[in-house]
Structure 1
Amino acid sequence: MADILDDGTLSFLPVRLNNQPVVMGGLTADEMWATVALSAGSGFVLGIPVAILFHNWSLIILGALVGGVLGLTVASRILRRMKRGRPETWVYRQLQLNVALHFPTWNSSRLITRTGAWTCRRTEGA
């Protein structure tokens, strides 16, 4: 093996050892479970009026299952396109930025969200 030196050490630096493995459709495990939870929850909520309309309460669970499956297949394609060529933590930073922009009281990470021109001026006496 050309990658192992005489003293038994590696001649290259493995860079992807601590990354989460891609589980399904280009999503990591955390992204997959969040997608399934959100889609199944929306399918559950949409299944309630259908169940009331048809007087069949099992349609609520069916709506959650169908919502989870459809959401995972659609979201995996969309997220895979969005993540292509970006760093591993891009999705999480985008979520963090959206929370900071839309819910300023939840901005616990203290992200700077100011937009506009920045100027650098000297103060007198300094």
Structure 2
Amino acid sequence: MSGNLEPRDRVTFLPHRLNRQPTVVRGLTADELWITVTLSATVGLLIGVPLAWIAHSIALAPTVIAVSMAVGVFAGGGVLRRHKRGRPDTWLYRQMQWRIRRRVPALSRYVGASELIDRSGYWSIRRGPTR
């Protein structure tokens, strides 16, 4: 084989979805699924441990955690799918970074939010009047 490609051997288009993460469950990518499962498991833990203590049943805590993860993936997948529709691939992550930067500035450097441009005011393009 030679290093020269003939015109029929060249790719005439660049697939724009080639580097996207594939959708895994209910419109969520793998990273979004991990975020959803982690948050819903945390909520299940915060509800399940006191409930297990009150009911005197240790098995209630993991049950509540598992149910909350299932509900979180089902409900969270639908909500995130609706919010992401028609937006760029990185929209969710930038939105999360922006909210962390606004609400908890001390955490912003750990999640990369300190690199975001956060400025309010007028922007000018420094053009003069057209003639």
TM-score by length of 1: 0.83
How is 1:72-87 mapped onto 2 (pairs within 5 angstroms)? 72-87=73-88
Tell me, in whole angstroms, the C-alpha distance in 2 between the residues paired with 1:43 and 1:32.
16
Q: What is the one-letter code of the residue matched to 1:66?
A: V
How is 1:1-126 mapped onto 2 (pairs within 5 angstroms)? 6-108=7-109, 109-117=114-122
Between the two proteins, the alignment pairs up a number of residues equal to 117
Q: What is the one-letter code of the residue matched to 2:118?
A: T
- Which sits farther off after the overlay, 74-83 or 103-112? 103-112
Tell me, in whole angstroms, the C-alpha distance in 2 between the residues paired with 1:118 and 1:11.
39
Distance 1:107 1:48, change over 3 A: closer
What secondary structure sits across from 2:115 in the alignment?
A: coil
Give unmatched runs, 5+ long, in structure 2: 1-5, 127-131
Q: What is the one-letter code of the residue matched to 1:33?
A: W
TM-score by length of 2: 0.80
Tell me, in whole angstroms, the C-alpha distance in 2 between the residues paired with 1:6 and 1:112.
44
